Structure 1
Amino acid sequence: MAEVKQAAQALDAALALLAAGEVVAIPTETVYGLAGDATSGQAVARIFEAKGRPRFNPLIAHVASMAMAEKIAVFDPLSARLAENFWPGPLTLVLPLREAFGIHPLVTAGLDTIALRMPRGFASGLIDRLGRPLAAPSANRSGRISATTAAAVAEDLGDRIRLVVDGGPTPVGVESTILKVEKGKLRLLRPGGVTADEIEKAVGMGVERYGDAAIEAPGMMASHYAPGASVRLDVAEVHPGEALLAFGPRRAAGSNDAAAVKNLSERGDLREAAANLFSYLKELDRSGAATIAVEPIPFDGLGEAINDRLRRAAAPRRHDMNRD
């Protein structure tokens, strides 16, 4: 089983494993990431193996500085402005790839672009010490609920990796927003920890949604972030035996008969709801209920990211991702 070490004591152990081509679960401000050297084919292959992740699904490369980022990707003026406003932080930019830096092709899934993010905290210091970018998708088995605590990582991946760095619960609670600048326009590929409103206010232009686009960034698969139970959205009534993921002060009809209830935010606060989303889904999944009913959640602000994750959690999935 993986060793779990507190972040304050884990830097040297994490560096040694990464330098040897191993993978390490690390905290970021969004969710926990399964990190490996983005320039090492051995390390990136181990990420895909540990997660059981399809290799056509690209990874985000994480950097510690703009100097490192500019060696990997080409920044147009608008992308540079976005980085200046939101890095370090929960924004990922999809940019043209510079071939000379040595990002392994598995990271980009054969695309001529790369998804880049600059995280805060332990992850930033680790990348800086390593001197190379880290590929780091969420630290969970592919398609399952993302981990926001070290305990959740250890439960899901503890038999597949050697080290989990414990930095406490992640403050944002959902993955980064993924944005692409294309022909002078902003395309939102995945809503996340930075809202579209915040982006529009920072750069003075609108953000277009991607629609039914081909996979060109992480988190765009139809079925993703899924618990073992099925998920039923926007419920007005809870069926007998269902677990309930609630939001706000008012309950759906039948909530008193729910198998279990977790309220994302009794105050109706979307930032609190985002921070609680994945951990509460995990808790309700453990209740043994066959279905998790979800009360309606507003789409404004972080609600867009929350609803995106819930829609993907509720999407039809392969048989092997259902509860036995």
Structure 2
Amino acid sequence: MAQIISTEPSALQIAAQHLKNGSLVALPTETVYGLAADAGNGSAVAGIFSAKGRPHFNPLIAHMASLEMAERYVQFDTLSRKLAEKFWPGPLTLVLPLREGAAIHPLVTAGLTTLAVRMPCGPVREIIAMLDSPLAAPSANSSGRISATSAQAVQDDLGDKVELIVDGGACVVGLESTIVKIEGEKAYLLRPGGLAAEDIEAFIGQPLLRLDQRAAIQAPGMLASHYAPNAAMRLNSEEVREGEALLAFGFDRANHAERAVMVLNLSPSGDLHEAAVHLFDYMKQLDAAGAATIAVEPVPHHGLGEAINDRLSRAAAPRS
């Protein structure tokens, strides 16, 4: 099993040394825990794909310690720079043209000419600064499965595939970052996430365009089936069938909720931020209850509800 260490300065130095030596380290961010490797070390990045069982056509996000560091690797247009200055550090990823000669291994970009970059909150930034090199860090879970929002969740899933886990407690956002790409005068939402699309739209003064679901993969989190428990997921459920578990939301319960083998409410008060924080953890707990199906009550689509419903729909998608 992996060694779990704290976020004390001496522990962060240990984590940085492991990464410098080419090891994988699971790190806490404000969104979810990431499985990190030096983004310029091809062998280490390959280890991420191997540990997760992640397809190599699915690109990774490069995490930066500062805007100045990001500028060494990607080219900012005016609007993307304004977004970075406004929302970094935080749960926003920008897809930008990769600079020629940038020391990012091609596995990170999955052969694309762009690189997804963000500046995370928390101790991971200190580690990146120590290394003076970006970290490739997808969510620290087996590919396609529920993202980890605690050190224990990482240990339960990848504990035999990673040397070190830095325990920063429960993630305060609980959803992966929102991914945006600027093309000319248009702004595209590639993945809804922990920063509400409405907040971005209010700042830039224009709508975020959505891509067709059949669009080619340009960023992480665009696979049709993703974030999935072992149980099947039945969305927008108005009643609970015999033997199902129930992922509830808000005040009102689905009909026959008493049939559920286990009930967890994302937010009894209907708060979408609270629901986002609980989403992956509650999915894991309900999955562990052993029900073949998890019934999910409707969640509003506004604000963070867009990202919550995105994760739920991908979790419920047909699996290969």
- The residue type equivalent to 1:69 in the other structure is A
Residue in 2 that maps onto 1:209: 210
Question: How far does the alpha carbon of each residue in 1:145-185 deviate from its partner, in whole angstroms, 9 at most, with x for none?
Answer: 00000000000000101101000000000000000001211
Residue in 1 that maps onto 2:241: 239
Deviation at residue 10 of structure 1 after TM alignment: 2.1
Residue in 2 that maps onto 1:91: 92
Deviation at residue 26 of structure 1 after TM alignment: 0.2
* Whole-angstrom distance in 2 between the partners of 1:54 and 1:36: 17
Deviation at residue 294 of structure 1 after TM alignment: 0.2
* Correspondence list, 1:137-216, <5 A: 137-212=138-213, 213-216=215-218
Deviation at residue 52 of structure 1 after TM alignment: 0.6
Question: How far does the alpha carbon of each residue in 1:57-107 deviate from its partner, in whole angstroms, 9 at most, with x for none?
Answer: 000000001111001000000000110110000000000000222100000
* Whole-angstrom distance in 1 between the partners of 2:54 and 2:155: 18
* Whole-angstrom distance in 2 between the partners of 1:96 and 1:184: 16
- The residue type equivalent to 1:221 in the other structure is L
* Whole-angstrom distance in 1 between the partners of 2:281 and 2:33: 12
Residue in 1 that maps onto 2:262: 260
**Gap regions ≥5 residues in structure 2:** none
* Whole-angstrom distance in 2 between the partners of 1:101 and 1:56: 20
* Correspondence list, 1:57-68, <5 A: 57-68=58-69
* Whole-angstrom distance in 1 between the partners of 2:103 and 2:254: 53
* Whole-angstrom distance in 2 between the partners of 1:198 and 1:243: 34
Note the aligned Cα RMSD (angstroms).
0.7
Q: Does 1:222 align with 2:232?
A: no
Residue in 1 that maps onto 2:12: 11
Residue in 1 that maps onto 2:2: 2
- The residue type equivalent to 1:258 in the other structure is A
Deviation at residue 121 of structure 1 after TM alignment: 1.0
Question: Alignment partner of 1:187: what SS?
Answer: strand
Residue in 2 that maps onto 1:322: none
* Whole-angstrom distance in 1 between the partners of 2:298 and 2:3: 39
Deviation at residue 13 of structure 1 after TM alignment: 1.6
Aligned residues: 318
- The residue type equivalent to 1:134 in the other structure is L
Question: Alignment partner of 1:114: what SS?
Answer: strand
Question: Alignment partner of 2:75: what SS?
Answer: coil
**Gap regions ≥5 residues in structure 1:** 319-324
* Whole-angstrom distance in 2 between the partners of 1:91 and 1:227: 25
Question: Alignment partner of 2:26: what SS?
Answer: strand
Residue in 1 that maps onto 2:70: 69
Worse overlay, 207-216 or 263-272: 207-216
Residue in 2 that maps onto 1:54: 55
Q: Of 293, 296, 311, which aligns to 2:295?
A: 293
* Whole-angstrom distance in 2 between the partners of 1:72 and 1:22: 22
* Whole-angstrom distance in 1 between the partners of 2:100 and 2:15: 27
* Whole-angstrom distance in 2 between the partners of 1:62 and 1:100: 18
Residue in 2 that maps onto 1:321: none
- The residue type equivalent to 1:2 in the other structure is A
Question: Alignment partner of 1:273: what SS?
Answer: helix
Runs of 4+ in 1 over 6 A off after TM superposition: none
Question: Alignment partner of 2:4: what SS?
Answer: strand
Residue in 2 that maps onto 1:110: 111
- TM-score with structure 2 length normalisation? 0.98
Worse overlay, 233-242 or 204-213: 204-213
Question: How far does the alpha carbon of each residue in 1:106-159 deviate from its partner, in whole angstroms, 9 at most, with x for none?
Answer: 000000000000001111101001110000000000000000000000000001
